[in-house]
Amino acid sequence: MPHRAPVPLRAPVRVPVRAFVLALVLLVCALGCGRAGSPPVKGPQPEDLPVYQVDTGFRLPDSPTWKRAERRGHLVVGVKEDQPYLGEKDPASGRYSGFDIEIAKMMSASLGFDPQTIEYKTIASANRETALQNGQIDYYVGTYTINDNRKKQVGFAGPYYMAGQSLLVRKDEQDIGGPQDLAGKKVCSAAGSTPYQRLQKEFPKAVLVAYDTYSVCVDNLLTYQVDAVSTDDSILLGYAAKVPEELKVVGTPFSREPYGIGVPRSDNALRFALDDALEAQEKNGNWKKAYEATLGLSGVPAPTPPAIDRYPAS
Ligand code: GLU
């Protein structure tokens, strides 16, 4: 029966096509789809990021930091590398991404340096002041809270974002709903951070554990070495968004953490130039676009940025 010959031929063809389509759907899902409203698993998409116009005629002769960068030919910027959607380094490509990285890039463009030439240095919370004082970096953008104590050691442009201290726990945690529940609980934070200092002072019954970075705290949380991680909500929401089936952020923020760009303390010219640059980049829409392509991915819509605090020269 010759007319039946094509059947066995077509069958093996159909199966792989179906399998291929299924595999493709699974792959697309793995890359982008999840529960309704959940953020995509992938990080910032380069095509969503603003392109910052480099102010090629810009000069800042009164700033020793800017002049040194000009001689060098590029800026050296201190950042974090393990904070999802804020400052994150891709281990494969070595590339940095996130909202803080975008702020670093827009500042670079405003200061007349192509953002692509920025040399990033990962600096932990406890080492930021020293890095700025030693001239290891020109400025620092990494969830850096402006406060009076730090202002004695460094200068701050901004603020460019307002965060608040919060708590990250395992999804199955029933006992911790806010800082009032931390007595006798092991709570992890970063050495030298304001959240660590606040826990120490205001919640002395918590058993504090300090590491250099929050990602180590999160590893400790996932392996039941600690009961909670405490730092800014912006940081914790990023970790929770990466593994929503394992982690949750609880309670309401219990502090105000205005993020500034750290500069060498005596370089007022650089600080004021960065204040101007932030204001301009907020006005031209770049700030919002950058937020939406980065930190917005952890689930919070773009807020109105806080007013710049252009405090007098010191
Ligand atoms: N914003 C807080 C701070 O500057 C916590 C985040 C951090 O350690 O970078 O200390």
Task: Give the separation between CA 201 and CA 160, rounded to whole angstroms.
Answer: 27
Mean pLDDT on 81-89: 98
pLDDT above 70: residue 249: yes
The rounded percent of the chain whose pLDDT value lies above 90 is: 84
The residues pairing with 162 across neighbouring beta strands, listed in sequence order, are 258
For residue 21, the CA-to-ligand 1 centroid distance in Å is: 46
Mean pLDDT on 113-138: 98
Q: Is the CB of 50 under 6 A from ligand 1?
A: no
Q: Is the CB of 154 under 6 A from ligand 1?
A: no
Task: Give the separation between CA 149 and CA 205, rounded to whole angstroms.
Answer: 24
CB 217 within 8 A of CB 190: yes
pLDDT above 60: residue 139: yes
CB 250 within 8 A of CB 167: yes
The rounded percent of the chain whose pLDDT value lies above 70 is: 86
pLDDT above 90: residue 270: yes
Q: Is the CB of 194 under 6 A from ligand 1?
A: yes
pLDDT score, position 42? 62
Mean pLDDT on 237-266: 97
Q: What is the pTM of this model?
A: 0.87
pLDDT above 60: residue 131: yes
Q: Is the CB of 115 under 6 A from ligand 1?
A: no
pLDDT above 60: residue 247: yes
For ligand 1, what atom is nearest to the CA of residue 231? 5
Domains of the chain: 58-162+258-298 (3.40.190.10), 165-250 (3.40.190.10)
Task: Give the separation between CA 70 and CA 85, rounded to whole angstroms.
Answer: 30
| DSSP designation for 49 | S
CB 226 within 8 A of CB 126: no
Task: Give the separation between CA 29 and CA 300, rounded to whole angstroms.
Answer: 22
Q: Is the CB of 233 under 6 A from ligand 1?
A: no
pLDDT score, position 125? 98
pLDDT above 60: residue 31: no
Question: What's the half-sphere exposure (Cβ side, CA atoms, 13 Å) at 115?
Answer: 21
